[in-house]
Amino acid sequence: MAYRVLGRAGPPQPRRARRLLFAFTLSLSCTYLCYSLLCCCDDLGQSRLLGAPRCLRGPSAGGQKLLQKSRPCDPPGPTPSEPSAPSAPAAAVPAPRLSGSNHSGSPKLGTKRLPQALIVGVKKGGTRAVLEFIRVHPDVRALGTEPHFFDRNYGRGLDWYRSLMPRTLESQITLEKTPSYFVTQEAPRRIFNMSRDTKLIVVVRNPVTRAISDYTQTLSKKPDIPTFEGLSFRNRTLGLVDVSWNAIRIGMYVLHLESWLQYFPLAQIHFVSGERLITDPAGEMGRVQDFLGIKRFITDKHFYFNKTKGFPCLKKTESSLLPRCLGKSKGRTHVQIDPEVIDQLREFYRPYNIKFYETVGQDFRWE
């Protein structure tokens, strides 16, 4: 009887041991899992407080499958109050960006500077052509739009004006164009106050042709304006020209030039012939480059004559698939004007032209 009792009591011993071992292992795994989760919550809480990205310190084997999508933490670094020891830069760390880099990450080279040269006039003389031609030169960076700083926006200050400029290297010239400066009374003094060394470019054209071009442009925007003849004369029978009309007054070049010569020597002002700019663009631009003190980079090879528009255009370059020609607003067909009106205006401008030739030392042959 005792043997049977002992025989029955003997076999359960291994099962009980296995159960105890299983319970102990399960308890240990749960402990590790709980510990891992506690560490995780602690790290996540610190990450939220510090604004750092979420991460986990190495999860345990039991919790690895549950937390496998979380990335491991980076090695802890020194706190802001702790001085960090100098170390060799890691190869994977990117180089610091240059100041003023754009959003794409590519650096912007150079500095925004106030212009060293200005195309100050005249309207409908060929200023846009000179600007587009000179921008081909690698030593020139030019603002594409007209800022009108020295006539309309002077109150915004030089810092605002500088902020508009393109970035340039030390070897490059910053340039901008606003043709209305030439007829603005305050512009010479304001430009002189910015820099007395500023180089000035004035593109001039036969004043009668310039006035007709000016009128043609206005007519395209305001078709209800009076006739060219009606605007040009106060009394045509008496030959009284209306000099208050801006299209007429702009062409009285010598009167406007007097204001500029009060602040700048003639050697600091370069006059471009609007007529020669059409017939010999390379020659005119060669003289502009000489005036700016840069090498003659722009030559005959850069131009071709566009018969449709009636003026030269830039040939296509390696960076452009198409030739560069001025926009649709350039090269308009002028309105037809009575030849007698043209003759009267030529007589009116003659004394002003002669005085202008004498002052600048050039004969533009408008007579």
What is the DSSP code (8-state) at residue 293? Answer: T
* Look-up of token digits 């007589």: 347
Cα-to-chain-centroid distance, residue 345 = 41
- The answer to the question of whether 127 is labelled as a binding residue is yes
Task: Determine if residue 209 is labeled as part of a ligand binding site.
Answer: no
* Residue among 123, 124, 177, 199 flagged as catalytic: 124
Nearest Cα to Cα of residue 217 among 241, 257, 246, 252: 246
Q: Is 332 annotated as a binding-site member?
A: yes
Relative to beta strand 240-241, strand 233-235 is antiparallel
Q: Which two tokens stand for residue 130?
A: 């000179």
CA angle at 364 for the pair 362 and 367, rounded to the nearest 5°? 130
CB 247 within 8 A of CB 253: no
Q: Cα separation of 338 and 229, whole Å?
A: 8
Between CA 56 and CA 43 the distance in angstroms is 7
Is 124 part of the annotated catalytic residue set?
Answer: yes
Q: Which phi and psi (to 5°) does residue 50 adopt?
A: -90, -5
The helices-and-strands tally (H runs, E runs) of the chain is 12, 11
Burial of 214 (0-12, 13-18, 19+ CB in 10 A): buried
126 is known to lie in a ligand binding site: yes
205 is in an annotated binding site: yes
Query: Rounded to whole angstroms, how far apart are CA atoms 336 and 251?
Result: 19
124 known member of a binding site: yes
Numbered residues of the known binding site for 3'-phosphoadenylyl sulfate: 124-128, 205, 213, 330-334
Active site residues: 124
Numbered residues of the known binding site: 124-128, 205, 213, 330-334
